[in-house]
Structure 1
Amino acid sequence: MRIAFHTPLNLFDDDGVSGDRRMARQLVAALRSLGHEVEPVPAPRFYLRSADPAELAGLQATARTLCADLTAHWRHRSAPDLWFTYHHYYRAPDLLGPTLSAGFGIPYVTAEASDAPRRAEGEWAPHTQLVRSALAAGDAHIYFTERDRQGLEPWRRPGTALIKLPPFVAFDTAPPEAGRTQRQPLRLVTIAMMRAGTKQNSYLALARILDRIRHLDWRLSVIGDGSGRATIEPAFAGLPPGRVSWLGLLPRERALAELAGHDLFVWPGLREAYGLVYLEAQAVGLPVVAFDSGGVADVVAQGETALLVPEGDEAAFADALEALLRDPDRRERMGRAARRFAMAERSPARAADNLAEVLAVAVANRRAKMAPDEGKRLS
């Protein structure tokens, strides 16, 4: 099939560094591995910085022009066989897919879409309604996490399927594997961008957590950088000298090599969507300690590859971290399980199998909608 691939939040093929861009690229690669022709939709970023009605009106005008241009182009060339939108929500609604899918009678699929009931009233209500209209128009919606499924559940209905695709991770070559030496001091590592909001809050929580286990002999490497560094770095200043190394932003291959020289991956992950970095750390063979927050539970095997503690319970986090630091046999077992989990259960090949099912369901649902008398075939 020819698949039109749209990313309203971020242009996945620009030079930006983010987990959603990585996942978008992975989805495109998985679809192409199935033999499909994937065509990025030539559209600008549709992110809304505020609820200003004029900003939304401007994006809607841009969308109308693009819809008209694509309609004319496709009528001349032939339309794609399916529309696929990745990651849209009230700040980045899909203003193209529902219109073009309906106009050409092609299946409409989304991945990582989300509804925001608390935004259904007030200044963001018009934006939320646009998302809900797109959800209602869908033939299949892919969700990555249990939290996402719960938000999408009201949109499950005849002709609109909800299908799980567990978050997965792709590598150009097999990542290095962490050594199992009984090194001292034990080496902790974290990777995250430094920016205001949930990332900064996780960094500040990590500083407080590590202060609780300052009596143990450990070192922390921090991979990442960003506009929030001036606020984040001083939060670790109270730890004993020499405990924290700031490595800055590293290219992916260098970051993977750095991970392999450590013993544990620690990242609180407050309100994390899911976090591909957890899968990368596990692929290298590192056990994980994190909060059970957001979608983190959907990218680890609790108790087998990771220890998750209740969100915000910093004392429990410190206790879990100390327990692993004191138990080399358990760290080794969890590390080996982590690599198996990430490389086998969360592989692109496994994801491609799931995507093939999604596309088949979406095609069947759209076909049935185009022939109402065949409603019994709706999924």
Structure 2
Amino acid sequence: MIPIAFYAPLKSPRHPVPSGDRAMARAVMQALDAGPFKTDLVSQLRSLDRSGDPTVQTDLQAKAQQEIERLLAIAPQCGWRAWVTYHNYYKAPDLIGPAICASLSIPYIQIEASRALKRLTGPWAAFAKQAEAACDQADLVFHMTTHDRETLMKHQTPNQTILPLAPFLPQTDLPVAQGGPRLDNNLLCVGMMRAGDKLASYQIIADAAGQLKTPDWRLTIVGAGPARAGIEAAFAPFGPRVRFTGQLDADELARHYDSATLLVWPGVNEAFGMTYLEAQAHGLPIVAQDRNGVRDVVHGGILCDPAHVQDFAAAIDRLLGDPAHRATLGAAGRAAVQTQHLQPAATDALTRAICPLIGVTP
């Protein structure tokens, strides 16, 4: 097996709080390990500065330097052939990998890198410069969305390779249905409950719910987090129509995917949204908004204009009243996940690109 150093500066795969970012970091490690590689999670330093605080950034840079010194000391015995960083961006730049790769003369690889040149001024300027420099240094960059590809290609450095890696589920096959019929008019929403973009998505759903014409709809909300009280207040006018389950394990969530009529989630500023892939793997059609990232992963659903909540409500009503169209969309989403968004496709893409970079035949 080929040893690869792996690092996720935004959220370690071992972070205790679940999220889509943690799930994708874990999935990437699993996909690499399913090929000829053996990943070594080399650091759990979280370089995240949420608020643009220079003091926080200075402290994180000092901690990163300590990590660099530690890793260089153990590098000879580890034998890393390359370094892979998952999700380098201006609020959580890779402060470690570029220095290690330069010192060891090994390839530097980024997955789901993003560029934000407008952040080179302002409170995140120092971190944005380091994120850009790290991206500039990368020998190989995998993008997960069309939007990221456009920016990466615009600022591609000489001898840098930029390739697609579709977001994927960490499994080799589609899930087997749990059995039983889908419930009529049963909407499902799956999302973390925190302020900002997640809360904005919940508010859109609440606003749309107030405009639904289908008389007997129900909504099940799966998720947990510090914004739950505010989200419950937003849905309070609908009384028992809306049920909160809290956080569920994978098996319990799968049963909801199998029994629901539709998944509804706007996807405000989602990188792409793992819940869309999970739902489609179960053949569940989706109503979302037409946003960067979301459109890269929703193959079996309706994408609505983000400027008009009434369009979101109308799409829900349309699909609730059209079982045949729901079935068509569900089948399309499931087929797309099978061919594009499961681990084997990711392992193949990673192996074909990384092996030549380190002088190994795939």
So what's the TM-score if we normalise by structure 1?
0.90
Give 1:214 shift: 4.5
RMSD: 1.9
Secondary structure of the structure 1 residue equivalent to 2:83? strand
Partner of 1:372: none
Corresponding residue number in structure 1 for 2:329: 334
CA distance in 1, matches of 2:290, 2:178: 24
Contact 1:178/1:263 (<8 A) preserved: no
Q: Does 1:49 align with 2:43?
A: no
- Other-structure match for 1:263: 261
CA contact (8 A) 2:180 2:259 kept: no
Identify unmatched segments of 5+ residues in structure 1: 365-379
Call closer, same or farther: CA 1:314–1:70 in 2, change over 3 Å.
same
Contact 1:112 1:142 in 2 (8 A): yes
**Is the Cα contact below 8 Å between 1:31 and 1:38 reproduced in 2?**
yes
Which letter maps to 1:234? A
Contact 2:166 2:340 (8 Å CA) reproduced: no
- Residue 73 of structure 1 corresponds to which residue in structure 2? 74
Deviations 1:41-73 (A, max 9, x none): 134211123333232222222222221222122
Aligned partner of 2:27: which letter?
A: Q
Question: What is the CA distance between 1:309 and its match in structure 2?
Answer: 1.0
> Greater shift after overlay, 245-254 or 154-163?
154-163
Q: Distance in 2 between matches of 1:215 and 1:90?
A: 44
Match of 2:293 in 1: 295
State the partner residue of 1:275: 273
Following superposition, the deviation at residue 360 of structure 1 comes to 3.5
What secondary structure, in the 3-state scheme, does the structure 2 residue paired with 1:169 have? coil
Q: CA deviation at 1:174?
A: 4.7
Structure 2 residue identity aligned to 1:142: F
- 1:96 paired with 2:96, answer yes
Unmatched segments (≥5 aa) in structure 2: none
Alpha carbons of structure 1 residues 347 and 173: separation in structure 2 relative to 1, 3 Å: closer
* CA distance in structure 1 between the aligned counterparts of 2:183 and 2:252, rounded to whole angstroms: 21
Provide the secondary structure at the position in 2 that maps to 1:64: helix
Which of 339-348 and 138-147 deviates more? 339-348
Answer yes or no: is 1:199 the counterpart of 2:204. no
Question: Deviation of residue 310 (structure 1)?
Answer: 1.6
Deviations 1:298-328, CA, capped at 9 Å, x for gaps: 1112xxx111012232111111111111111
Distance 1:182 1:253 in 2: 17
Partner of 1:347: 342
Task: Pick the aligned partner of 1:314 from 309, 312, 316.
Answer: 309
Answer yes or no: is the 8 Å Cα contact 1:195–1:226 preserved in 2. Answer: yes
Alignment partners' CA distance in 2, 1:232 and 1:132: 36
Q: From the CA coordinates, give the structure whose radius of gyration is larger.
A: 1
SS at match of 2:109: strand
Secondary structure of 2:338 counterpart? helix
* Superposed displacement of residue 79, structure 1: 3.4
State whether structure 2 residue 247 is matched by structure 1 residue 244. Answer: no
Q: What SS is found at the alignment partner of 1:237?
A: helix
Contact 1:182 1:328 in 2 (8 A): no
Aligned match of 2:117 = 117
Percent sequence identity over aligned pairs:
36
Alignment partners' CA distance in 2, 1:183 and 1:16: 31
Is 1:85 the equivalent of 2:85?
yes
Moved more, 35-44 or 260-269: 35-44
Which residue identity lines up with residue 349 of structure 2 in the other structure?
Answer: N
Q: 2:30 maps to which residue?
A: 29
Q: Conserved in 2, the CA contact under 8 Å of 1:178 and 1:285?
A: no
Distance 1:207 1:172 in 2: 36
> What is the distance in 2 between the residues matched to 1:203 and 1:176?
29
Aligned partners of 1:242, 1:26: CA distance in 2, in Å?
37
TM-superposition CA deviations, 1:247-271 (whole Å, max 9, x none): 1111122111122111111111111
For residues 361 and 276 of structure 1, what CA distance do their matches in structure 2 show?
Answer: 30
Partner amino acid for 2:169? V
> Is the aligned partner of 1:165 residue 2:165?
yes
Q: Give the C-alpha shift of residue 361 in structure 1.
A: 5.3
Which amino acid in the other structure matches residue 294 of structure 1?
Answer: N
Give the TM-score taking structure 2 as reference length: 0.94
Paired position in structure 2 for 1:8: 9
Kindly indicate whether the alpha-carbon contact (under 8 Å) linking 2:31 and 2:170 is maintained by their aligned counterparts in 1.
no
> In structure 2, how many angstroms separate the alpha carbons of the residues matched to 1:341 and 1:37?
29
